[in-house]
C-alpha cells in the first residue's frame, strides 16, 4: 500500500500535470491552484430587543426549547469564495472579481445549468485568480430578520419573468403550459428548470449595505478587475468611482444599473477602462429599452470625459442568439474569449 507521503506526492504531481495540459483555444484543461478558500466581509452587529420568546423543537427527537430572539447578530455581510493559482499558472496582472445579478448568487459563474464548466473555470484556465461572491442577503451571505433589520419583505422571481426578461424566449405561460423559445437562442432551454433552482430571494431595500460590503471587498482583495452581471453593475460602477486606484477595469456583462452623469461626477472613472457586453434580442424586448438607456447615457458621458467605454454588441458582431445569461449560453466560451482578448489588449492579462 502506498504511504500517505507518497500519495501526497503523487497527487501533487497529478494536479500539476493536469494544469499543464493544453485544452481548446490554448487554455489549460485544468488548473494548478495554490489556494482555495472563502471568507465573509462587510456587515455589522445588530441588536434586537423586545421580541417575544417562543417554544421550538430543533429536531423531531429533541425536547422543546424556549427560544429568545433578542440579542446581538452579525448582519449585512457578504460571502466570497476564491481560487488562487500557482505563480507559474497565473497570467493575469490582477485577480478577477465576479459579481452576480439580482435574484441570483455566485453560482451564476460556476458550473452552467447544463453541466458544462462556467466562466469561473474558464478564466481560471486563462490564468486569472478568481473571486466569486454571494452579496448581502444572497446564498451563503445569509438573511437577516425583517422588518427589524431588512426593512421589507423579500421578492421572488417567477419562471415566467425569468424566461421573458432574460430573453430565453418571447412567451411563457403556466396554463396551458407554453415555453416559446427564440429559434436561435443560445441558452440551453432544456436546462431551464435546473437554472431556476439557482433563484434566491432578494430585497429591494438593501442597496446601501450591499454597496458597503462590495466596497469592503474591494479594499480587501484589490487591485482587481471587476466583472459584474446585471444588477451587480449598480455596485461595481459605484465602487470603482470610490476606489479608482484599486479597480483596474470593469467588464460589464449585460449591466442593468448605471451611474447618472447628471447627478454623479464620472471624472474618477476616466482611468478605469470599461467594456460593456450585450446579447441578442434586446431591441425586440420593450423592457430592455428602458434598462439600457441609462447605461448608454453613462457610456456617452464617459467617452466625452476621455474615458474608455467600449461596447461588444454581439449580434452586431455576427454572434447571434445570446440571452441575458451570456455566461451560461452554449457559446459562452466564444464570448469569454472575446473578453479575454480585451483584457489582454489593455495589458491586464497575457
Report yes or no on 135 lying in a domain.
yes
| Position 23 pLDDT exceeds 80 | no
pTM: 0.91
> Domain residues for 132?
29-56+65-345
Q: pLDDT for 125-164, tens place per residue?
A: 999 999 999 999 999 999 999 999 999 999 999 999 999 9
- What is the structure's pLDDT at 30? 83
Judged against a pLDDT cut of 70, whether residue 15 lies above it is answered with no
Asked if the model's pLDDT at residue 295 lies above 50, the reply is yes
Question: Which of 318, 350, 346, 316 is closest to 334 using CA atoms?
Answer: 318
Residue 5 has pLDDT above 50, yes or no: no
Checking if the pLDDT of 122 tops 80, the result is: yes
For residue 18, the model assigns a pLDDT of 39
Q: Is residue 20 part of a domain?
A: no
How does residue 93 score in pLDDT terms, banded at 50, 70 and 90? Answer: very high
Residue 181 in domain? yes
Give the confidence band of 86 by pLDDT, cuts at 50, 70, 90: very high
CB-count exposure of residue 89 (10 Å: 0-12, 13-18, 19+): buried
Give the C-alpha separation, 82 to 129, whole Å. 8
Q: Residue 245 pLDDT > 60, yes or no?
A: yes
**Within a domain: 16:** no
Q: What was the pLDDT predicted at 286?
A: 86
User: pLDDT tens for residues 256-287?
Assistant: 999 999 999 999 999 999 999 999 999 988 89
Q: Would 284 be classed as within a structural domain?
A: yes
Q: What CATH number has the domain bearing residue 339?
A: 3.40.50.1820
Q: What would the pLDDT profile of 188-236 be if each residue is shown by its tens digit?
A: 999 999 999 999 999 999 999 999 999 999 999 999 999 999 999 999 9
pLDDT, position 26: 55
How many structural domains does the chain have?
1
Residue 10 lies in a domain: no
Q: 21-30, 243-252, 296-305 — which is least confidently predicted?
A: 21-30
Q: What's the pLDDT score for residue 343?
A: 98
Per-residue pLDDT, 27: 74
Report the percent of the chain where pLDDT is more than 70.
92
What average pLDDT does the segment 69-95 reach?
97
**pLDDT confidence band for 12 (50 / 70 / 90):** very low
Reference 210, options 322, 324, 75, 14; nearest CA is 75
3, part of any domain = no
* Average pLDDT score, the chain: 93
Cβ atoms of 190 and 114 within 8 Å: the answer is: yes
Residue 246 lies in a domain: yes
**What is the pLDDT, as a whole number, of residue 3?**
42
Amino acid at each position: 500500500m502506498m504511504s500517505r507521503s507518497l500519495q501526497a506526492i503523487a497527487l501533487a504531481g497529478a494536479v500539476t500535470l493536469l494544469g499543464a495540459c493544453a485544452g481548446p483555444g490554448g487554455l489549460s484543461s485544468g488548473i494548478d491552484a495554490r489556494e482555495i478558500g472563502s471568507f465573509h466581509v462587510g456587515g455589522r452587529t445588530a441588536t434586537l430587543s423586545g421580541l417575544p420568546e417562543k417554544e421550538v423543537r430543533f429536531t423531531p427527537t429533541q425536547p422543546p426549547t424556549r427560544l429568545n430572539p433578542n440579542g446581538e447578530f452579525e448582519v449585512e455581510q457578504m460571502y466570497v469564495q476564491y481560487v488562487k493559482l500557482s505563480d507559474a499558472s497565473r497570467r493575469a496582472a490582477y485577480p478577477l472579481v465576479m459579481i452576480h445579478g439580482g435574484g441570483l448568487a455566485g453560482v451564476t459563474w460556476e458550473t452552467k445549468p447544463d453541466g458544462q464548466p462556467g466562466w469561473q473555470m474558464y478564466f481560471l484556465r486563462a490564468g486569472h485568480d478568481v473571486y466569486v461572491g454571494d452579496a448581502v442577503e444572497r446564498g451563503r451571505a445569509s438573511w437577516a430578520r425583517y422588518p427589524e433589520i431588512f426593512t421589507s419583505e423579500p421578492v421572488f422571481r417567477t419562471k415566467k419573468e425569468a424566461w421573458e426578461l432574460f430573453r430565453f424566449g418571447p412567451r411563457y405561460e403556466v396554463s396551458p403550459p407554453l415555453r416559446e423559445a427564440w429559434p436561435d437562442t443560445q441558452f440551453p432551454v432544456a436546462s431551464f428548470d435546473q437554472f431556476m433552482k439557482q433563484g434566491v430571494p432578494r430585497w429591494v431595500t438593501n442597496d446601501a449595505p450591499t454597496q458597503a460590503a462590495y466596497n469592503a471587498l474591494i479594499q480587501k482583495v484589490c487591485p482587481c478587475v471587476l466583472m459584474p452581471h446585471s444588477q451587480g453593475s449598480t455596485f461595481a460602477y459605484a465602487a470603482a468611482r470610490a476606489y479608482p486606484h484599486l479597480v483596474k477595469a470593469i467588464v460589464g456583462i449585460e449591466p442593468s444599473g448605471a451611474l447618472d452623469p447628471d447627478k454623479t461626477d464620472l471624472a474618477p472613472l476616466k482611468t478605469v477602462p470599461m467594456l460593456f457586453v450585450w446579447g441578442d434580442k434586446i431591441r425586440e424586448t420593450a423592457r430592455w429599452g428602458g434598462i439600457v438607456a441609462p447605461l448608454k447615457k453613462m457610456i456617452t458621458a464617459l467617452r466625452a470625459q476621455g474615458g474608455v467605454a467600449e461596447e461588444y454588441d454581439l449580434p452586431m458582431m455576427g454572434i447571434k442568439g445570446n440571452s441575458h445569461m451570456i455566461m451560461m449560453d452554449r457559446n459562452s466560451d466564444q464570448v469569454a474569449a472575446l473578453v479575454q482578448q480585451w483584457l489582454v489588449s489593455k495589458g491586464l492579462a497575457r
